[in-house]
Amino acid sequence: MLDREFVLDKCLGQGGSSRVYFANHPHTDKNYAVKILRKDKGISHKRGVQILQEEHDRMQLLQGHPNILKSFGTFHDGELISDLGLTSVMYNVLELAENGTSSHFIRKSGGLGENLVKFPFVQI
């Protein structure tokens, strides 16, 4: 359980500095993606706050675009309760991409033809 607000389930993916988990907010029964900074990467608290806040701010600027996920908030002093005990974490709560990420789609489909690739790049 994350901050006694979100029940975390499977890991949806990971990057160089974070892991993204499927999360449910039991009080509203809404699903989210929660990006948690990885402790094993040795990121300082100050740098972690900066990384998460910059990501949130960029997503807020682009929030009007239908193909950009929403960021609902950045939390710098979160508590993750697990079988291993209580862990201090920093995280962002994001809109869940119900159909998965672009990279998952590309891996599943075996690649995209030039005509299909042009469309999203023109939008970007």
Would you state the CATH architecture of domain 7-123? 2-Layer Sandwich (3.30)
> How many degrees, rounded to 5, is the angle at CA 29 between CA 27 and CA 31?
120
The tens digit of pLDDT for each residue in 52-91 reads 999 999 999 988 888 788 999 999 999 999 888 888 999 9
Number of residues written out for the chain: 124
Residues 84, 89, 93, 99, CA torsion sign? negative
Rama region for 2: left / alpha / beta (φ>0; ψ in -120 to 50; rest): beta
pLDDT tens sequence across 11-45: 998 888 899 999 999 999 999 999 999 877 888 99
Evaluate whether 79 touches 3 at the Cβ level (below 8 Å): yes
Parse the chain into domains and list their residue ranges.
Answer: 7-123
Interval 102-112: pLDDT, tens = 777 777 777 77
Spell out the residues 6+ positions from residue 52 whose beta carbon is closer than 8 angstroms to its own: 35, 37, 74, 76, 90, 91, 92
